[in-house]
C-alpha cells in the first residue's frame, strides 16, 4: 500500500499513525507541516476544499494526521488506510 501522510512530527496522533503504517510495511510519503512551508500551504488548500475536513474544522481541530491514498482518496481515518 502506498500512502501520503500529512501531519506533524510534533503531533502524537501523527507519530502513532506513522508507526502503525511502518508496521504494516506501507510505502509512506510524509509531509511534515511543521518543517515545510510548501507542504503546509498545499495542506491548507486541501483542507479548505475537501468536505473530509468539515467535522474537524467545526470542532476547531487541525485535521491531522491526514492520509491520501494512492488513488487520491483523502481520509482522516487510519483504519481505512490499514484495511
Cut 0.85: pTM above it: yes
Model confidence pLDDT, tens digit, residues 7-35? 999 999 999 999 999 999 999 999 999 99
Q: What is the pLDDT of residue 47?
A: 96
Please state the domain extents for the chain: 1-78
Domain 1-78 in CATH 3.40.30.10: yes
Please, which pLDDT band fits residue 79 given cuts at 50, 70 and 90? very high
Length of the chain: 83
Cβ–Cβ under 8 Å, residues 6 and 65? yes
Model confidence pLDDT, tens digit, residues 50-77? 999 999 999 999 999 999 999 999 999 9
How far is residue 14's CA from residue 65's CA, in Å, rounded to a whole number? 5
Cell representation of residue 78: 487510519
Element (H, E) at 41: helix 37-49
Amino acid at each position: 500500500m502506498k500512502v501520503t501522510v500529512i501531519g506533524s512530527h510534533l503531533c502524537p496522533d501523527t507519530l502513532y499513525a506513522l508507526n502503525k503504517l511502518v508496521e504494516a510495511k506501507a510505502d509512506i510519503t510524509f509531509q511534515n507541516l511543521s518543517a515545510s512551508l510548501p507542504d503546509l500551504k498545499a495542506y491548507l488548500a486541501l483542507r479548505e476544499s475537501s468536505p473530509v475536513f468539515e467535522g474537524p474544522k467545526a470542532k476547531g481541530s487541525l485535521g491531522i494526521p491526514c492520509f491520501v491514498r494512492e488513488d487520491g482518496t483523502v481520509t482522516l481515518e487510519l483504519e481505512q488506510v490499514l484495511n
